[in-house]
Amino acid sequence: MLAPRRRDRFVRVTWCLIDASVWVVAIYAATWLRHAYELEPTFVRNTAIVAGAAALGHVVVSFATGPYRKGHVRGSFEEVLEVAATVAIVCSGLMAWAMTARPIVVPRTVPIMAALIASLAMMATRFVIRAARQRHWATLEGKERILVFGAGNGGRLLIRNLRHDPTSPYIPVALLDDDRGKRRRSFDGVRVRGGRDHIAKAAEAYDAEKMVIAIPSANADTIRELRQAAAEAGVKPLVVPTMSAMVGRTPTSHDIRDVNLEDLLGRRPVTLDQAAIASELDSRTVLVTGAGGSIGSELCRQIANFHPSKLVMLDRDESALQSVQLDLDGHGLLESDSIVLADIRDQEAMHRVFQQHRPDVVFHAAALKHLPLLERYPLEAWKTNVLGTLNVLRAAQGSGVGTFVNISTDKAADPVCVLGYSKRIAERLTADMARHASGRYLSVRFGNVLGSRGSVIPAFTRQITQGGPVTVTHRDVQRYFMLIPEACQLVMQAAVMGRPGEVMVLDMGTPVRIREIAETLIAMSGRDDIEVIYTGLRPGEKMSEDLFNAADQSRATSHQLVSSVDVPALDGNTVDGMPLTHERAADWMRACAREGAGPIDARFVLGGADAINAARLEQGRSS
């Protein structure tokens, strides 16, 4: 059996010889027609010379700029265009020769007639072969017949790949699209048979039990509506990935998968300023703290696409670091100096790492985030989210970092819990560093991300697998959600847009009721015996989160999904070195998180009236 490259070359040469032969036949046929079906003036030396010249010209032009320069799907639109262009060029050359030659080699109408005959013969041959192949694939046993919803670029490319992939388990039998302008059109032998109202009819007519939603740009609302329409028609819905997940490639049978919760809740088309992000990251040293976490690991994967000169991944979890390296490098040897095992609580370690690598850009994603645990152990939130952030900020300042991005949360907007207090303080510390450091220091605030470790999705999934019940805190509790890749894309976008000290706030869309997520997961599992029970709100939890507080004056930016607000700066010396206990940590953070809070307010919280009088006296002496 020939190797793929040799086989491709053999196929192109074979088609070249076929088309050259077509030209020879076409020249003789045109000459015969021109001489009123007389053979004697047709089979002369001049006709043979012109036929040979036409064949040779077609070979030269085709391999130079035409259909044999590269492989094509036989009978495709691209190949037909190039064949037609090649025939036109050869015809022009023959016409010029026939018009200027003395004596006349062939009648001047022969080149035009021959070109028409040759082009019709070449295209007819290709269309017959293409139709035969399509009929062959359509009748193959063992392939699952499917409907494809979406006659746009994504749907057409998917159909082409499925039709011409002998290993595909699917064969598309009908197209569907709500655009009436595409009705009754045909793509690769598959016709558009109506819109979503015709799903059941098309499935019955073509014996299909599944429908692929082939709209990579579809948002969550569209996916939900089409999934519901498919369910009502008795057809199982499938999807292809989002556009951001298929950059630089087309959908194939391997991309087709079941609809999941991320499709139903988190899909939104995100447009990025790729050039601006590339200019910020390309050939730079980028450091990511918390690189093994959900956000940090996805940031690393996306940053790698912009070809930084070095990507430093820092985390205290060695297993998480190995997992990220496996994703990026294909191995988990952990031998690279860009893999850093360190704890942001260790101030000396942070300075040592930053002095060694001298990063240009820093994404600070390391944090503790589980609200109930931090309510029980507030001192841990203080050590990691506050002092750890301060350590990273100071290390970044000491090494001359150009851009510092602190990853924050919507719970910092109007905090009522330890997690919110600690992240609000981190925003304020970042804003303060922006006043003193030479680089751009800013924060990015957003809500929950679907599928992250510790989110409700894995918890609900495990409860369903175990037979239930699924526990929800309140019937009406709701949260913002977005996909991890989309959140990280917008973080990078915000990083190149933000001004020093700003908090960039990502548009999270519409809040989703947690109860509806639980019910959707139960429905997707196919089990109707799972019960949902309500346990009540936990300490520090709100019915719904806010992206802004009452004092925030949000500003629009050049990106429709990113806004910005200012937060009051908080001097790092206020929080540095304060000895705390678990009992006092929550009160201290609550005081420091307040607008305009400083050392006096915090000491009052911790020590009462005597403490604030002493603080005021000390402040008066120092001034």
Cα–Cα distance measured from residue 593 to residue 615, given in angstroms and rounded to the nearest whole number: 19
- Concatenating the DSSP letter of every residue in 547-603 gives SS-TT---EE-SSTTEEEEE-----HHHHTT----HHHHHHHHHHHHSTT--HHHHH
3-class secondary-structure state, position 170: strand
Cα–Cα distance measured from residue 573 to residue 592, given in angstroms and rounded to the nearest whole number: 12
Strands 562-566 and 502-506: antiparallel
Q: Does 411 participate in catalysis according to the annotation?
A: yes
- Concatenating the DSSP letter of every residue in 58-119 gives HHHHHHHHSTTSS---TT-HHHHHHHHHHHHHHHHHHHHHHHH-SS-SS-TTHHHHHHHHHH
- Ramachandran angles phi, psi of 314, nearest 5°: -115, 130
CB of 440 closer than 8 Å to CB of 500 = yes
Q: Which of 210, 369, 383, 411 is catalytic?
A: 411
Angle at which helices 456-465 and 514-525 cross, to 10°:
40
Cα–Cα distance measured from residue 88 to residue 101, given in angstroms and rounded to the nearest whole number: 20
Cα–Cα distance measured from residue 210 to residue 146, given in angstroms and rounded to the nearest whole number: 5
Q: How far is CA 510 from the centre of its chain?
A: 20
3-class secondary-structure state, position 151: coil
Q: Quote the tokens at residue 515.
A: 């109860």
Say how many C-beta atoms besides its own lie within 10 A of residue 110's C-beta: 26
- At position 234, the amino acid (one-letter code) is G
3-class secondary-structure state, position 533: strand
Partners of 310 in the beta sheet?
Answer: 285
Cα–Cα distance measured from residue 505 to residue 491, given in angstroms and rounded to the nearest whole number: 9
Q: Quote the tokens at residue 227.
A: 């999934």
Cα–Cα distance measured from residue 613 to residue 168, given in angstroms and rounded to the nearest whole number: 78
Positions annotated as catalytic residues are 411
